[in-house]
Structure 1
Amino acid sequence: MTRGNQSVDEPGDSVAAAAAAVQAGDLVVYPTETVYGLGADALNADAVERAFDAKGRDRSEPLSLGVQSVAAAREHVHADDHTMAFMRAFLPGPVTVLCERADHVPDVLVAGGDTVGVRVPAHDLALDLYAAAGTPVTATSANRSGEPSVRHPDDLDPEFLDAVSSVLDGGRTDGAESTVVDPTTGEIVREGALAGAIEAWLDAH
């Protein structure tokens, strides 16, 4: 099938093809344990701008970045011991952890703020993509803003796909939203998967 200007094979692209697209500054769609994500090189401001455009997302609403491990996250954020303990307890998993960003994380990703959401999905294809791309990858849902999240590639909007170079097909995903947490303040910003366990951990620490 043809997607955008690129011809791809059914049923989906390879991790290598998707990683090459990310490295080239293009957009990809990939599965996580929650919903399908829209991926771009999170350290490439132009690529991040393309992700915002594809979603029709307001630039005041930051995007998260996905990395392959908690150790990899430390290369891009400043996290105290408490935050690191939280991350080791819940990642990989359906949790977005708010951390102080490092200076090289572009302003556009975080809407000019000081914090960035970190995702380490509990999904092998997502982690393989991050590792092969060799860079943090945006972790935002693969849909136009305001539209429902996507749990299967067949449900992707055709117009949305016009902006995408590669799709990793991991079958149907769980669909539950990640829980967004700021361990520094102990605040659960958005309740989703594992919210009860997270609240118990925060109360205990």
Structure 2
Amino acid sequence: MQAEKGNQVKTRLFRVSEENFDAILDEAAAIIRRGGTVAFPTETVYGLGADGLNPDAVRKIFEAKERPPGNPLSLLVHSREDLGKIAKNIPEKAFRLMDAFWPGP
């Protein structure tokens, strides 16, 4: 996980186990709430996570990945209610897909 302090990036490595899972999850959430970024394993690759509604946090992801501005990022959305905060005019077909596939694996 990373937390920025001034212009320095502070990197911390956590070994996750059943015993410390909740504490580490809480720490990762706190870093994200402060506008920081976290790296985490997925089924296939490591992902970078940040608050997708925080422009500074999104900028950090683009910079870390050296990603051009025209190449969009994926934004994970927790619920229909949260989707309404970031999107308008959502077609009914999209809601049917949400009902069929949310939550995912």
Match of 2:83 in 1: 73
Residue 85 of structure 1 corresponds to: 96
Q: Give 1:5's aligned residue.
A: 10
What is the CA deviation profile of residues 124-171 of structure 1, one whole-angstrom value per residue up to 9, with x for unaligned ones? xxxxxxxxxxxxxxxxxxxxxxxxxxxxxxxxxxxxxxxxxxxxxxxx
- Counterpart amino acid of residue 5 in structure 1: K
Number of residues paired by the alignment?
Answer: 92
CA distance in 2, matches of 1:22, 1:16: 10
* Matched residue type, 1:11: R
Residue aligned with 1:25, SS: coil
Give, in angstroms, the shift of residue 74 of structure 1: 2.8
Quick one: percent identity of the two aligned structures? 39
| 1:48 alignment counterpart | 58
Q: 1:30 aligns to what SS in structure 2?
A: strand
Question: Structure 1 CA distance, aligned partners of 2:44 and 2:101?
Answer: 14
Q: Distance in 1 between matches of 2:42 and 2:84?
A: 21
Unaligned runs of 5+ in 1: 94-121, 123-205
Contact 1:70 / 1:91 at 8 angstroms: preserved in 2?
no
Distance 1:43 1:86, change over 3 A: same
What residue in structure 2 maps to residue 60 of structure 1?
70
TM superposition shift of 1:33: 4.8
Q: Aligned letter for 1:55?
A: K
Q: CA RMSD in A?
A: 2.6
- Aligned with residue 22 of structure 1, among 16, 22, 32: 32
Higher relative contact order (CA 8 A, sep 6+): 1
CA distance in 1, matches of 2:83, 2:57: 20
* TM, length-normalised to structure 1: 0.39
**Which structure dedicates a bigger proportion of its chain to helix?**
2
- Measure the CA separation in 2 of the matches of 1:85 and 1:28: 32
Letter in 1 for 2:95: M
Q: Give the distance between the partners of 1:27 and 1:84, measured in 2 at CA.
A: 30
Q: Tell me by how many angstroms 1:44 deviates.
A: 0.9
Counterpart of 2:19 in structure 1 is none
Shift of 1:92: 2.4
